[in-house]
Amino acid sequence: MADAPADYVKAFMSDHVVDPARAALVIVDMQYATGHPTGPLAQKMAAEGTAATTAWRFARITDLVIPNTRRLIDAMRKAGGQVIYVTIGAEKPGAPDAPLHMRKFFADCGNHLGSRAHQIVDELAPEPQDHIVRKTSIGAFASTNIDHLLRTLGRHDLYFSGVSTNMCVDTTAREAADRGYAVTMIGDACATTHEDLHNAALRNFQRFFGRVRSTEDVLAELAGR
């Protein structure tokens, strides 16, 4: 189990044999807005002189999240699983369709449909057989049709990567677990602003909601090893 301290009691974690034909990799918010070191959030922090606050986040995205997610995408497709991208952002500038607590953040990042900020990072670009759902909320189940999509596709085993570990990834993964999906968070394919928040989210998630695994663990699982 990646990242979370090894001494944590995993008393309620479940495990089972995964059928890739019923599996999906759910990639959360890997967009230029907040998921890339050249994007608006990184630029904003640099302009404000507070780039050190997000240094761990963007180093981790560059060194781990993007390359590991790339490997996971390739493995999921090869195994016959589904790749689903969840994006965050408004439909229009000014974010009138977003919850009140999200509007300023979307506006500050220029994150709306058609903007560069809203685009999925080039390194993880979707292919025609993939699905993309856009959310305006922290958790995807609150503002998208992802539940209907997953059930229509017959996907029960969900693997999560992306940003931010303790916000959009964790919330969406919890929502999925509460709806009966078998959920795995991929610890070394997620990032957030601070390491302690990242580790705490993983520790808490595995207590009741699902599993935490490394990229290597998931690749082996998808390959049937």
Spell out the domain ranges in the chain.
20-222
DSSP collapsed to 3 states, the chain: CCCCCCCCCCCCCCCCCCCHHHEEEEEECCECCCCCCCCHHHHHHHHCCCHHHHHHHHHHHHHHHHHHHHHHHHHHHHHCCEEEEEEECECCCCCCCCCHHHHHHHHHHCCECCCCCCCECHHHCCCCCCEEEEECCCCHHHCCCHHHHHHHHCCCEEEEEEECHHHHHHHHHHHHHHCCCEEEEEEEEEECCCHHHHHHHHHHHHHHCCEEECHHHHHHHHCCC
Q: What is the pLDDT of residue 14?
A: 65
Q: What is the pLDDT of residue 1?
A: 46
- Average pLDDT for runs of 10 along the chain of length 225: 51 74 98 97 92 94 98 98 98 96 96 98 98 98 98 98 98 98 97 96 93 96 91
* Full-model pTM: 0.94
- Virtual CA dihedral for 210, 216, 217, 223, nearest 10 degrees? 120
Q: What is the pLDDT of residue 152?
A: 98
Q: How far is it, in rounded angstroms, from Cα 192 to Cα 180?
A: 26
CATH code of 20-222, in short, is 3.40.50.850
Residue 80 tokens read as 């016959």
